[in-house]
Chains A and B, each alone.
Chain A
Amino acid sequence: MIKGNFGIRKSDIINRRMFIIGTAKLIIFGGLIARLFSLQINNNKKYLTLSDKNRIREWKLPPTRGNITDYFGNIIAGNLKVYQLHIIPEQVENFNYLLSRLKFILKLSSKRVEKIKKKSKQLKPWESLIVSENLSWDEFSKINNYLYELVGVKPVMTISRDYPFSDIYTHVLGYVSQPSEDDILANEVIQQKFVPGIKVGKLGLEKTLENDLIGVNDIQRYEVNAYGKRINQLEYQKGKQGSKIRITLDTEVQKLSAELLAGKAGSISVMDIYTGEMIAMYSSPSYNPNSFLFGISQDEWQLIRNNPLKPLINKTLSGLYSPGSTIKPIVALSALENGIIDTKFKVRCKGKMELYGQTFHCWKEKGHGYVSLKNAMKQSCDTYFYEVARKLGVDRLKITADKFGLGKKVLGEYFENEKAGQFPDTKWKINKLGKGWVLGETLITGIGQGYTQTTPIQLCLMTAQIANGGYKIEPKILTDDNQLTSEQVKKAMQDSKLNNSYDPLYDDQRNIRIVQEAMFSSTNELRGTSYKSRIEDPKYQFAGKTGTSQVKRISKRERELDLKTFEIPYEQRDHALYVAFGPYKSPRYAVSIIVEHGGSGSSAAAPMAKELFKLIVDRHEYRKQLPDYKEFNI
């Protein structure tokens, strides 16, 4: 009984204490529920994101680049289906055996096999290994025949850049290739879109317009497990092809330019004198951009690099030449504008001119006799322009030259390798060379020799602005209907629209007419330097000015010998230049031609203009039919 009493008392204690910890339990369970609530309800989104991050892995595929078309919509940089061979290492049973089979089927070199082996060691087993980037159809079908015994091999069809006109657009478009580390670091867009196998622009418009052309990657979303192995594909997100770019060049004119310059080093530029649109821009020799797509072979690269005609240089934009006599229209214009001369002003040419004991020769040893502006231009009399330049002075000449765009980049926003060249004046020489200007230098500047350095495109712009009646235009290579995102290019395009306000570059437009007429006589009148290249049909008739730019100073002995061009070593021959505009009745196009070491402008360059104008004027009819054609009548 006593024990029983104790028992009851004991159970009281137990019950009381149970009650205390029971309460504690409730509190603790409450805490756990609160924690669950905080994780699952309050922070659900955060953890869902984290969970998706865990399990979803994205695989980007190379984006498809936008097409580039010429003015008429012909694709000049497109995309082509290519066949590739991939190996998925985790599916391969015996890697070495597989490689030896592939080596046999595809006739791979041992060096190539070693390279593939090396590459396979850097990859994760589920990443695909690219054995060949560009299989021919034969190889591709051969692989497909053997596929049953090649476990782990995957023939893949993919897309690659293609330049259907091969080398005629190389200097304009540039080319694409695998991005270098610098390419990736320099461009954030490439950084975002980078995937193995992507190709980016290395040069030219392909590089400048990279961000528009590159497109949007296709994305494959996979569910992966904790070890990164793909479990299943969740989604295939189609990317977007890059923007289509339309440029102003005309493939036909471009082709003709390439033909005309075949085997020569030089450049042809053709420009619409009102819109500033480039119709042709060809630098010779060129090279095939398709060679760079899958990595150029060392041999081919050396061949291009060591070619003495320097195919890698875009001569239209980066070739610096003394303008020679092609500068004379500007000298004449400047003198007329400054009231130094008028049409009646005459100089007597005796074949040479003495100044402070120095002799300045005219190209015609016997001299031209008394020449007026028109005759001096027609026959390209040097003495006349020596005298005019002497009276005018280099500083006033430079003002006019600047107005017409000499010594300034023309398409600098689009081509990073363009050079500005220079047009000297007294201040320039002091700053640059630390020496005072001497009068003799004014004289030779007056015939486009000396310090003056111009690019073919500058001469083309100069001619265009004379041809259109002396109005400022802004050259362009992209048509106005391009929708671009790149800030730099957008700004350049806007500028060109704004600046095509046709500000007059003259004080008196009659002076422009005088120069135009003088250029007309140079081509279309007897004894004109390019008379032989004239076209009499007024539909095609053009006006122009030849130029012969000395590469080295002609010694007295050489002058006496009077060597023919082919008798002089190639590197010492003169550059042949020609600038022209036409059709003369209502001009629309300006042309500048330069043939490096071609000899005289009248024999080497002017005949090309004849061929060009025939085509350009015919092509104009087609241009007219396009919706964005504009008629001009200034």
Chain B
Amino acid sequence: MYQHTRLNSDQNLFQKIKNLDYILLICIIILSSLSFFIMYSTDGGEFLYHTKSHLTKLIAFFILMLVISFFNIKFWHWCSYFLYGSIILLLIWVSIYGMTVSGSQRWINLYFLVLQPSELMKIGIILCLAKYYHRVSVEKINSFISISVALTIILIPIIFVISQPDLGTSILIATSGLIILWLGGVKIKYFFVSFVAFLISLPFIITYLEPYQKLRILTFLDPDRDPLGAGYQIIQSKIAIGSGGFSGKGFLQGTQSYLEFLPEKHTDFIFTLFSEEFGFIGSIGLLLLYTIIILRIIQIGAISRSSFARLFCFGFAFAIFIYITVNLSMVLGLLPIVGSPLPIMSYGGSSMLATMIGFGIVMSAKVHNQQTIA
């Protein structure tokens, strides 16, 4: 054990490769393959644009993840604030020069990739707050200043994202941030009080929502009120999932998606297609795979010596959990439709990039799990 510690400080590349977490790695590879096949299915069983693009990104970002994992966790600790700051700058850039698609200004066109900085912020906020709580001493955690700083860190990106407008992502960013506050040790009482305050102010918040957002909530409450309009997606999604049954309609046999009844089947509704073709068994399998990934990340966090690594792993595990929950609840008709991709599975470079970076840092924490950070 001690010997290990000593070696850890300066491992060579071979040792680092040996120390990679292979359970997590295999899970990620399985997930990536699944996502490739399912993307192939959305293209109607042909090797078309979405499949090609998705495959390229999978390979590129998977390599990126490995590269990240070879950097010492200390390095990631060191540059956390810097990364956070850079993403904030990107958000500012987007709000001025960003691409506008269907009314939202969220994207930067990098030609090889259309970058959505708000997706990166999902990781950035975890990194930044993990570092922050790593550094704050236990006594000061519940001090006014410390909580204020933490909340500010969360609020700045949220203001940008919400004004894009992108309610879904901003909620996810906020949740990821708040979870670090929770893990960092902010009093449960505060969470409880602010939750009650949130509930009370909810009606007022709703009055400030954009009409399309209100519509989504109304549609969620009763999808049948406008079955061909706003409720169409959720109804068709439920039909697709429900008709999948126990074992599904079979690979490439999903009629709902093949016949184009499913909108946004590449992105937010990818689970619908998966569930239609592979049924209850397949869906449980996918959930199981995600659960293994989450548990493995938590485990890596638990064996990490530094609070930064631990906070990051726990936070990231929780964030993945939240993404999955929000996405599945949405396609299963349990939550209103908010744009929220399913990690790795959904088509979309930024989301995959962010997730892979997250995996990379977790992997780095594993490789360097004996690393202490002052």
Contacts and interface: CB of A to CB of B under 8 A. Distances in A.
Interface of A: 3, 6-7, 9-11, 13-15, 17-18, 21-22, 25, 28-29, 31-33, 35-37, 39-41, 43-44, 46-48, 50-51, 54-55, 223-227, 231
B346 to A, nearest CB: 17
Nearest to A40: B280
A384 B260 CA distance: 91
Given A17-B183, A47-B239, A225-B260, A11 B310 contact: yes
Among A11, A15, A40, A223, max chain B CB count under 10 A is at A40
B150 to A, nearest CB: 15
B350 to A, nearest CB: 25
A32 B307 contact: no
Contact of B185 (A14, A40, A48): A14
Nearest to A5: B138
B287 A54 contact: no
Among A25, A37, A55, max chain B CB count under 10 A is at A25
A10 to B, nearest CB: 5
Nearest to A42: B242
Given A32-B287, A51-B239, 11 more contacts: A7-B372, A14-B184, A33-B284, A36-B280, A36-B283, A41-B246, A44-B244, A47-B241, A51-B240, A55-B255, A226-B261
Contact of A54 (B179, B183, B259): B259
B185 A44 contact: no
B138 A9 contact: yes
Contacts of A7: 306-307, 372
B129 to A, nearest CB: 12
Given A21-B318, A25-B294, A40 B138 contact: no
Interface string B272-283: 000100011001
30 contacts: A7-B307, A10-B138, A11-B310, A13-B183, A14-B184, A14-B307, A14-B314, A17-B182, A18-B298, A21-B179, A21-B182, A25-B318, A29-B291, A33-B287, A36-B241, A36-B275, A36-B283, A39-B241, A40-B280, A44-B245, A50-B243, A51-B240, A51-B242, A51-B243, A51-B255, A54-B236, A55-B255, A223-B259, A226-B260, A227-B260
Interface in B132-165: 137-138
Interface of B: 137-138, 179, 182-185, 236, 238-246, 255-256, 259-261, 275, 279-280, 283-284, 287, 291, 294, 298, 301-302, 306-307, 310-311, 314, 318, 321, 325, 328-329, 332, 334, 372, 374
B185 A43 contact: no
A40 B183 contact: no
Contacts, number: 126
A43 B310 CA distance: 42
Contacts of A226: 259-261
A15 B313 CA distance: 11
Nearest to B257: A226
A585 B241 CA distance: 84
B246 A6 contact: no
A568 to B, nearest CB: 74
Contacts of B259: 54-55, 223-226, 231
A33 B328 CA distance: 10
Given A17-B183, A50-B242, A54-B259, A41 B298 contact: no
Contacts of A39: 238, 241-242, 332
B360 to A, nearest CB: 21
A223 B255 CA distance: 9
A47 B294 contact: no
